[in-house]
A and B are shown apart, each in its own frame.
Chain A
Amino acid sequence: MTKKTELPGVFRQLKTSRRSVLRSSAYLGLGLAAPSIISRAAWAQDAKKITFVSEESNPKAQAVYDKINADFEAETGISVTMEYPGFENIAQRVATLIASGTPAELVWYGAGSAMEVALQGQLADVSDLVTDLGIPDNLRLVVDGADRSVATSQQFVYGWYRSDLYDEAGLDPYADWDSYLAVSEKLNNPPAMYGNIVPSAQSGASHLLMETMMQKNDAHWFKMGDDGEYEVYLDQGDNMGKVVETLEFLNKAHKFAPEGSNYSWGDLMSQYFTGRVANSYYVGARLLEQTMSNAPDLAPLTKPISLPAKATDNYYLSVQGFHVGKGSNEDGAKQYVKFFMNHPAYIEWLHSVPLHIIPAKQEVLNSEAYMDNDVIQQRMDVLEFLDSIWGKGRAPYYWDGDKLNKYVGLYQNDSLGGWMLAAMNIGGQDAESVVKEAADKIREKMSDL
């Protein structure tokens, strides 16, 4: 559990102080950046140069960038300057650049983080690119009537299970909530083995499970009001019943799980590959990757599975992509995005963590070029699984309605779903009061805005 793990998807940015950083750090950054403003301003107007800020920290992926950048410069004469501030600092870096009047041409990171920048009118319209490249609808980010994000890749939230234990016990993989509880109970043999894992802490890992299972139960945080504005829906009408039901389901599941009162992302993986839980879940295939390197014997027995369905079979979707700074060398940036997405090395970039970084488009997933990889060849079952659940993912900011919900940060930033699980599973509070309290917390924050 001490192993350093990268946080997946949207949560990576949510965890950092994204809103604060956007504005307030901009002022700080302005002061620090002042001496270089003049030169950078001149640079920004240079059509032959673009600055590319990427969240990427994987050297394999960075090497691919270098290759594509060289080809791009050879073809267009536009040189690309890379910056890798790391996921902890990227939001601050982006804000600083905007505040100093020299927005980065390109920022590659989670669409959830980009949403905050877009809401402040700092991202260029990339609708043309989205249309040209055929980006699927569920990966889009529309703010003020225009696309603001070009998705390169995505991660699905789904389960992983020990097929050997299922076989031994003569169990079929779970499909719905009842069968999930049944197999978890059957495989539960504490303290050596637990049926499943239900982190119940104010952590991203915990929140993600709650939010995913709410999607499965068609339960919502917000609802579009008559005035076209979102309002808190968590504790309203039938919806409250669904939220309570979700919470109670996860409370039952927690009885067949280790006490997850302080679990975070790393525990979802380490508990699994140390052979202590029969079922786990993750945002993508990193759990498989970690199992391959830490418990090679378990890896072939590790199978992907959709988390149990109830009213829907939706799942939480995490999207990453290119974002073009408004007022920057927008044209050069757009050229680069197109060039990148059509470059053969795009596949190589996707392979930097095989099966974890899922291409934006299904046809790429099913292309021979994508399948031409040792890990993918070994685990074609995972690829087939991803193909089978394709398109059912929902980004949180589109879960509660067709219009972008700009309030998701109000419950995601402090992992409110995780708090709800903790309050019930650890604190012993009853589900209804937890839901009411959670709804009040969101309302209070809304009234603060």
Chain B
Amino acid sequence: MSTSDSPREGGWVAAAIGPALILLLLTAYIPIIYALTLAFYNKTAFNPDMDFVGLKNFFWLLKRDDLWAALGKSIVFTLGSVGFQLAFGLFFGLLLNEAIRGRAIMRSLVILPYLLPTIVIGLVFRWILNPEFGVVNQILLSWGVVERPINFFGGLDVAMTSIIVTTGWQYGSFAVLLILARLQSINPRLYEAARSCGAGTWRCFVDVTLPNLRTTLLLIALLRGIWMFNKFDLIWIITKGGPLQATETLPIYVYKIAFQDFNFGRAAAGCFVMFVILLVVSLIYFKYFNPTKEIEVNR
């Protein structure tokens, strides 16, 4: 294609993509830029004027122990949840890829959690994991697994795990779908080739299934990693960051700065910090595992 070297052609190009570009800028980037610039202003409910304060909000924020605690929680939550989703996705993806009875129904069912509104999932899990009336505790008690009901979302030591499992359950189906789609496109001849070389089930998994899933798994890890790092709604609905600060991840912490302390400038600085963390992690990720380079030729 020739470049738009003639002015007339350039004009056409501008006319063609201009409106879309402006719309994109208005809808996507201006709010982001606005939110990020807010981080450099003192903007509270008591201070209707926005005073430029430079890096003051950042200095305040970075000195907070709460921030670093929340960052730690975020890392645990993100790794835990994404790990759970990948494990969930692999397990059910492999299961549903086998010729088992009722596979078609199972495949439709597995997408269900993904279709449910988060509020529903939050309430349902609070209900089934409730220490007093929850069905899970009833079962654990009647089987004698535990002597006293477990306060899944209220126990300091179990709340994070419970949240991880809940989000993992909700979004695991996303991983199942992607993994299943990839599994179905693996050339069955590769498995036969591996077996003819003496590979058993485990080696087939390691040498055929996993390498073929590599791109998919990396993609899920990146996408879900970003989504989970920013996850707010489900945690807020279920625990609001509690008990104490056991599930207070960065988004919850930033939300509290914004809507409990009503300090938008600092909250924006918190968002900025999150943005930078994600940016850095993404850059590292793309440097080491470039999913687009992973496109394979399967004959």
Assess A/B contact in the complex (Cβ within 8 A): yes
Q: Is the CB of B242 within 8 A of A274?
A: no
List B residues 28-51 near A (Cβ within 8 Å).
Answer: 43-46, 48
**Which B residue's beta carbon lies closest to that of A260?**
B154
**Is B81 an interface residue, CB under 8 A from the partner?**
no
List A residues 145-191 near B (Cβ within 8 Å).
Answer: 190-191
B residues near A20, Cβ cutoff 8 Å: 44-45, 258-259, 262, 264
Known contacts A22-B45, A258-B132; decide if A426 and B156 are in contact (CB<8 Å).
yes
Q: Is the CB of B262 within 8 A of A201?
A: no
Q: Is the CB of A202 within 8 A of B154?
A: no
**Is A445 an interface residue, CB under 8 A from the partner?**
yes
What separation, in Å, do the CA atoms of A23 and B132 have in the docked complex?
43
Q: Is the CB of A259 within 8 A of B131?
A: yes
Count of B residues near A, CB < 8 Å?
34
Binary CB contact string for chain A from 7 to 43 against chain B (1 if under 8 A, 0 otherwise): 0000000000101111110110000000000000000
Known contacts A259-B151, A261-B242, A271-B132; decide if A1 and B127 are in contact (CB<8 Å).
yes
Q: Is the CB of A423 within 8 A of B244?
A: yes
Q: Is the CB of A202 within 8 A of B123?
A: no
A residues near B244, Cβ cutoff 8 Å: 202, 261, 419, 422-423, 426-427
User: B interface, by DSSP: helix, strand, loop or mixed?
Assistant: loop
**Is B170 an interface residue, CB under 8 A from the partner?**
no
A residues near B264, Cβ cutoff 8 Å: 20, 24
Q: Is the CB of B127 within 8 A of A190?
A: no
A residues near B259, Cβ cutoff 8 Å: 17, 20
Q: Is the CB of B156 within 8 A of A427?
A: yes
Q: Is the CB of A262 within 8 A of B46?
A: no
- A251, chain B: closest CB distance, angstroms: 14
What separation, in Å, do the CA atoms of A259 and B263 have in the docked complex?
32
B residues near A419, Cβ cutoff 8 Å: 244
**Is B84 an interface residue, CB under 8 A from the partner?**
no
Q: Is the CB of B261 within 8 A of A201?
A: no
A residues near B48, Cβ cutoff 8 Å: 23-24, 26-27
Q: Is the CB of A414 within 8 A of B151?
A: no
Q: Is the CB of B151 within 8 A of A445?
A: no
Most buried by B among A1, A20, A201: A20
What separation, in Å, do the CA atoms of A19 and B261 have in the docked complex?
9
Known contacts A271-B132, A274-B132; decide if A191 and B151 are in contact (CB<8 Å).
no
- B258, chain A: closest CB distance, angstroms: 8
- B26, chain A: closest CB distance, angstroms: 15
**Is A89 an interface residue, CB under 8 A from the partner?**
no
Q: Is the CB of A259 within 8 A of B155?
A: yes
Known contacts A202-B241, A422-B244; decide if A1 and B126 are in contact (CB<8 Å).
yes
A residues near B159, Cβ cutoff 8 Å: 261-262
List A residues 251-286 near B (Cβ within 8 Å).
Answer: 258-263, 271, 274, 276
**Which B residue's beta carbon lies closest to that of A202?**
B242
**Is A367 an interface residue, CB under 8 A from the partner?**
no
- The contact of B46 among A19, A26, A261, A426, by CB within 8 Å, is A19
B residues near A2, Cβ cutoff 8 Å: 123, 126-127
Known contacts A2-B126, A20-B45; decide if A448 and B263 are in contact (CB<8 Å).
yes
**Is A203 an interface residue, CB under 8 A from the partner?**
yes
**Is B6 an interface residue, CB under 8 A from the partner?**
no
Most buried by B among A1, A261, A413: A261
- A96, chain B: closest CB distance, angstroms: 14
What's the A-B contact tally at a CB cutoff of 8 Å?
94
**Is A449 an interface residue, CB under 8 A from the partner?**
yes
- A16, chain B: closest CB distance, angstroms: 9
**Is B3 an interface residue, CB under 8 A from the partner?**
no
Q: Is the CB of B240 within 8 A of A203?
A: yes
Q: Is the CB of B153 within 8 A of A262?
A: yes
Q: Is the CB of B45 within 8 A of A261?
A: no
Q: Is the CB of A414 within 8 A of B260?
A: yes
What separation, in Å, do the CA atoms of A258 and B45 have in the docked complex?
38
- B295, chain A: closest CB distance, angstroms: 46
List B residues 123-159 near A (Cβ within 8 Å).
Answer: 123, 126-127, 130-133, 148-149, 151, 153-156, 159
- B72, chain A: closest CB distance, angstroms: 16
Known contacts A24-B48, A261-B154; decide if A17 and B262 are in contact (CB<8 Å).
yes
**Which B residue's beta carbon lies closest to that of A422?**
B244
Q: Is the CB of A261 within 8 A of B261?
A: no
B residues near A276, Cβ cutoff 8 Å: 132
Q: Is the CB of A24 within 8 A of B45?
A: yes
B residues near A445, Cβ cutoff 8 Å: 261
B residues near A274, Cβ cutoff 8 Å: 132-133
Q: Is the CB of B240 within 8 A of A413?
A: no
What separation, in Å, do the CA atoms of A190 and B259 have in the docked complex?
37
**Is B256 an interface residue, CB under 8 A from the partner?**
yes
Q: Is the CB of B148 within 8 A of A261?
A: no
- B81, chain A: closest CB distance, angstroms: 19
Known contacts A20-B45, A191-B149, A414-B256; decide if A262 and B239 are in contact (CB<8 Å).
yes
**Is B243 an interface residue, CB under 8 A from the partner?**
yes
- The contact of A414 among B131, B243, B261, by CB within 8 Å, is B261
- A257, chain B: closest CB distance, angstroms: 12
List A residues 197-233 near B (Cβ within 8 Å).
Answer: 200-203
**Which A residue's beta carbon lies closest to that of B152?**
A262
What separation, in Å, do the CA atoms of A5 and B126 have in the docked complex?
16
Q: Is the CB of A19 within 8 A of B262?
A: yes
Binary CB contact string for chain A from 438 to 449 against chain B (1 if under 8 A, 0 otherwise): 000000010011
What separation, in Å, do the CA atoms of A17 and B151 have in the docked complex?
30
Known contacts A17-B262, A262-B239, A427-B244; decide if A448 and B44 are in contact (CB<8 Å).
yes
- A144, chain B: closest CB distance, angstroms: 17
Q: Is the CB of A191 within 8 A of B148?
A: yes
B residues near A24, Cβ cutoff 8 Å: 43, 45, 48, 264
**Which B residue's beta carbon lies closest to that of A14?**
B260
What separation, in Å, do the CA atoms of A400 and B46 have in the docked complex?
23
**Which A residue's beta carbon lies closest to that of B262?**
A20
What separation, in Å, do the CA atoms of A398 and B154 have in the docked complex?
34
A residues near B242, Cβ cutoff 8 Å: 201-203, 261-262, 422
A residues near B154, Cβ cutoff 8 Å: 201, 259-263, 426
What separation, in Å, do the CA atoms of A2 and B128 have in the docked complex?
11
What separation, in Å, do the CA atoms of A83 and B71 have in the docked complex?
43
Q: Contacts A261-B154, A422-B242 given; 7 further ones with Cβ under 8 A?
A: A17-B262, A21-B45, A24-B45, A24-B264, A201-B242, A202-B244, A261-B242
Closest 7 CB pairs of A and B: A261-B243, A19-B45, A261-B154, A414-B260, A20-B262, A20-B45, A262-B154
Could you write out 22 A-B pairs with CB less than 8 Å apart? Answer: A1-B126, A2-B123, A2-B127, A19-B262, A20-B259, A20-B262, A191-B149, A200-B243, A201-B243, A202-B241, A203-B242, A260-B154, A261-B154, A261-B159, A261-B243, A262-B240, A262-B243, A271-B132, A276-B132, A413-B260, A423-B244, A426-B243
